[in-house]
């Protein structure tokens, strides 16, 4: 039986207006000023509604490449056999658990399946609390661990945005991010790993003085929300020791960096020579299909009384998860992440000296961050320049992300099929676009870059100054006015032609 309704074309303008009308305002779009409507994607390329191709440098969720035919095929096949087996035995779930565990150290041998990284981290906190009988958690001040209520509390970068009204919870203890470029010990400190680990020890001691024992420490191995901060040598080894000495356990949030992305290793914690007690994984493991997992020791797993998730571990998700692992293996994507990632990072390092605004180039494998500063001495974050640069790269058909507490770090986490040619192209385009911004600033005599970016509205501050209207504010027909009527009936009536 044919259930499909004849499709009527939905214009860019209608899509944007429907989103404005019916989707929460706090759900932000990439390129808020001139969003893209992406219709399809393949490998490391995105295609918009006008057929233009963009190089995707940010979609780590499409880990092995957008719409990889093997992953799509396996997903379609399983979808046509059995999509839900909640409460029943299913071999896909069992096979995937066995396969995942085989990629991890022996102690990490029990899986729980969920549907998002946030669910995974929330479950990790529950597991830690049920095992240690302590709810208290240490997180880093530059961390983001997810969108559930419990995780917003341990995601200082997120709750800072909630404003002054937000009170840190008593069970949350915050340690400084071990950022050797911008952190509290400066960039020339000897043994920064030891210094930053000591900060965690101080947090543990302070909590104990307040009568609170730490149950868990959670961190990413490479702190993505801080703009791909790679913690220094010996940091995690010391932190894990301090946390365990006080009776706590260690959680590695591998949602962004797991599954071969860091190149040298399959999991992020391996680059720091530690073995966590709980690992959480998400984003890339389903190549875009909602799938996430928590993997832990038998003792910790057994401490949890009861757990159920309707969609977690469904046969389609697990079949896809295994297909993703097949592709990583068959296409040698971990070593590709290492080689192409090195080409990217070396490329950015090479252009750094000629750009006064590139303060730092960092990262590992296919997780690269380029931190922009007003000047290399003050290291003042160049937030708006970062935004303008991202828009300029969009014009060059390259999509790059922005991260960091000050939103001044351009980040790259492309699908792992990204090539060295892609890497060279991005570095060259980045250098040209940044040189253009820097020279325009010099041309108009604004040697003090602070002047350029202060007191300007978010949209196109620099371009306004330099007369370069490079950001295409309206990507759609200007003769159609924005509809502002918020009445629900009027809103629905607007879309009769697309229903």
Query: Per-residue string for binding with ligand PLP, 280-319, x by CB under 6 A?
Result: --xx------------------------------------
**With binding defined as CB under 6 A, does residue 147 bind ligand PLP?**
yes
Closest approach of ligand PLP to the CB of residue 123, in Å: 12
Contact status: 112 vs ligand PLP (CB under 6 A): no
- Token pair belonging to 10: 């939905």
Determine if 117 is a binding residue for ligand PLP (CB under 6 A): yes
CA pair distance 336, 419, nearest whole angstrom: 8
Largest CA distance in the chain: 70
User: Which one of 56, 122, 153, 220 is in contact with ligand PLP (CB under 6 A)?
Assistant: 220
**C-beta closer to ligand PLP: residue 14 or 147:** 147
CB of residue 144 to ligand PLP, shortest distance in Å: 5
Query: Least distance in Å: CB of 225 to ligand PLP?
Result: 6
Residue 118 is a binding residue for ligand PLP (CB under 6 A) = yes
Say if CB 361 and CB 370 are below 8 A apart. Answer: yes
Q: Which residue is nearest to ligand PLP (CB)?
A: 117
**Closer residue to ligand PLP in complex, CB, 183/288:** 288
Provide Rg for the chain, Cα atoms.
24
59 or 121: whose CB is closer to ligand PLP? Answer: 121
Contacts 24+ apart (CB under 8 A), 100-103: 100/293, 100/295, 100/321, 100/325, 101/295, 103/266, 103/267, 103/325
What is the distance between the alpha carbons of residues 292 and 121, in angstroms, rounded to a whole number?
A: 10
Measured N-to-C along each axis, helices 315-330 and 333-351 cross at an angle, to the nearest 10 degrees, of: 70
The interface region with ligand PLP, picked from 21-29, 117-125, 327-335, 439-447 by CB under 6 A, is 117-125
Least Cβ distance, residue 74 to ligand PLP (angstroms)? 21
Burial class (CB in 10 A: 0-12, 13-18, 19+), 425: middle
Q: Which residues contact 193 (CB under 8 A, 6 or more apart)?
A: 178, 231, 232, 233, 234, 235, 237, 238
Q: Measured from the CB of residue 155, what is the shortest distance to ligand PLP in angstroms? A: 8
- Select from 116-124, 334-342, 348-356, 410-418 the region that touches ligand PLP (CB under 6 A): 116-124
The full 3-state SS of 390-441, as one line of letters, equals: HHHHHHCCEECEEECCCCCEEEECCCCCCCHHHHHHHHHHHHHHHHHHHHHH
Cβ-based nearer residue to ligand PLP, 182 or 283: 283
Site string for ligand PLP, 420-439 (x = CB under 6 A): --------------------
Stretch that binds ligand PLP, among 3-11, 145-153, 367-375, 481-489 (CB under 6 A): 145-153
CB of 223 to ligand PLP, least distance (A): 8
Q: Is 478 helix (H, G, I), strand (E, B) or coil?
A: coil
Using the contact rule CB under 6 A, the part of the chain among 71-79, 110-118, 294-302, 454-462 near ligand PLP is: 110-118
How many chain residues interact with ligand PLP (CB under 6 A)?
15
CB of 145 to ligand PLP, least distance (A): 5
> How many Å apart are CA 499 and CA 494, to the nearest integer?
10
Give the one residue of 68, 145, 265, 338 binding ligand PLP; rule: CB under 6 A: 145
Minimum CB distance to ligand PLP smaller for 259 or for 382? 259
Residue 48 CB, shortest distance to ligand PLP, in Å, is 23
The verdict on 121 binding ligand PLP (CB under 6 A) reads yes
Query: Which residue do the tokens 């893209």 mark?
Result: 36
Per-residue binder mask for ligand PLP (CB under 6 A), 235-264, x = binder: ------------------x-xx--------
User: Quick check: helix, strand or coil at residue 285?
Assistant: helix
Query: Can you read off the two tokens belonging to residue 337?
Result: 């992440």
Residue (122 or 463) nearer to ligand PLP, CB: 122
Q: What angle do CA 262, 248, 116 make, to 5 degrees?
A: 45
> Within a 10 A sphere around the Cβ of 52, how many other Cβ atoms?
10
Q: Are 289 and 96 in contact (CB under 8 A)?
A: no
User: Is the Cβ–Cβ distance between 78 and 316 less than 8 Å?
Assistant: yes
Q: Please, are residues 111 and 124 in contact by the beta-carbon 8 Å criterion?
A: no
Can you tell me which of 65, 135, 146, 248 binds ligand PLP, judged by CB under 6 A?
Answer: 146
Span interacting with ligand PLP, options 100-108, 138-146, 311-319, 328-336, rule CB under 6 A: 138-146
Q: Is 89 exposed, middle or buried (0-12, 13-18, 19+ CB in 10 A)?
A: exposed
Question: Given the complex with ligand PLP, which of 135 and 258 has the nearer CB atom?
Answer: 258
Angle (CA) 386 157 125, round 5°:
140
Q: Taking each helix axis as running N to C, give the angle between helix 235-245 and helix 192-209, from 0 to 180 degrees, rounded to the nearest 10.
A: 20
Q: Is the alpha carbon torsion for 297, 302, 304, 310 positive or negative? A: positive
179 near ligand PLP, judged by CB under 6 A: no
Residue closer to ligand PLP, measured from CB, 220 or 406: 220
Sites of contact with ligand PLP (CB under 6 A):
116-118, 121, 144-147, 220, 224, 253, 255-256, 282-283
């Amino acid at each position: 039986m044919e259930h499909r309704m004849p499709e009527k074309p939905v214009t860019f303008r209608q899509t944007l207006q429907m989103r404005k009308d019916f989707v929460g305002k706090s759900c932000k779009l990439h390129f808020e000023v001139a969003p893209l409507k992406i219709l399809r994607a393949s490998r490391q390329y995105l295609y918009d509604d006008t057929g233009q191709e963009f190089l995707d440098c940010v979609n780590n969720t499409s880990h092995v490449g957008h719409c990889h035919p093997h992953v799509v095929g396996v997903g379609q096949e399983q979808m046509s056999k059995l999509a839900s087996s909640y409460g029943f035995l299913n071999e896909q779930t069992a096979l995937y658990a066995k396969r995942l565990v085989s990629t991890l150290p022996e102690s990490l041998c029990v899986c729980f399946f969920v549907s998002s990284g946030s669910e995974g981290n929330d479950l990790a906190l529950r597991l830690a609390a049920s095992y240690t009988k302590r709810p208290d958690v240490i997180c880093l001040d530059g961390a983001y661990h997810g969108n559930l209520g419990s995780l917003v509390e341990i995601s200082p970068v997120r709750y800072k945005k909630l404003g002054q009204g937000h009170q840190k919870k008593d069970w949350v203890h915050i340690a400084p991010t071990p950022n050797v470029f911008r952190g509290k010990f400066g960039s020339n400190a000897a043994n920064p790993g030891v210094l930053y680990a000591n900060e965690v020890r101080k947090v543990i001691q302070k909590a104990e003085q307040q009568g609170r024992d730490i149950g868990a420490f959670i961190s990413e191995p490479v702190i993505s929300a801080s703009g791909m901060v790679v913690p220094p040598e010996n940091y995690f080894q010391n932190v894990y020791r301090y946390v365990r000495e006080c009776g706590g356990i260690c959680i590695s949030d591998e949602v962004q960096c797991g599954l071969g992305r860091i190149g040298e290793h399959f999991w992020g914690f391996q680059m720091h020579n530690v073995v966590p007690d709980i690992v959480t994984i998400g984003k890339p493991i389903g190549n875009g299909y909602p799938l996430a997992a928590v993997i832990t020791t038998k003792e910790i797993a057994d401490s949890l009384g009861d757990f159920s998730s309707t969609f977690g571990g469904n046969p389609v998700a697990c079949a896809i998860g295994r297909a993703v692992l097949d592709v990583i293996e068959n296409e040698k994507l971990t070593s590709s992440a290492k080689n192409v990632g090195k080409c990217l990072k070396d490329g950015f390092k090479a252009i750094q000296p000629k750009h006064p605004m590139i303060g730092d180039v960092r990262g590992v494998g296919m997780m690269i961050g380029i931190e922009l500063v007003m000047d290399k001495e003050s290291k003042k974050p160049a937030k708006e320049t970062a935004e303008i640069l991202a828009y300029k790269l969009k014009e060059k058909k390259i999509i790059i992300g922005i991260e960091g507490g000050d939103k001044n770090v351009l980040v790259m986490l492309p699908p792992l099929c990204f090539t060295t040619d892609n890497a060279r192209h991005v570095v060259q385009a980045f250098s040209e676009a940044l040189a253009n911004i820097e020279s325009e600033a010099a041309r108009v005599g604004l040697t003090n870059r602070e002047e350029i970016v202060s007191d300007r509205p978010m949209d196109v501050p620099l371009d306004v100054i330099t007369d370069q209207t490079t950001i295409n504010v309206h990507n759609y027909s200007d003769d159609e006015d924005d509809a502002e009527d918020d009445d629900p009936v009027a809103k629905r009536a607007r879309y009769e032609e697309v229903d």
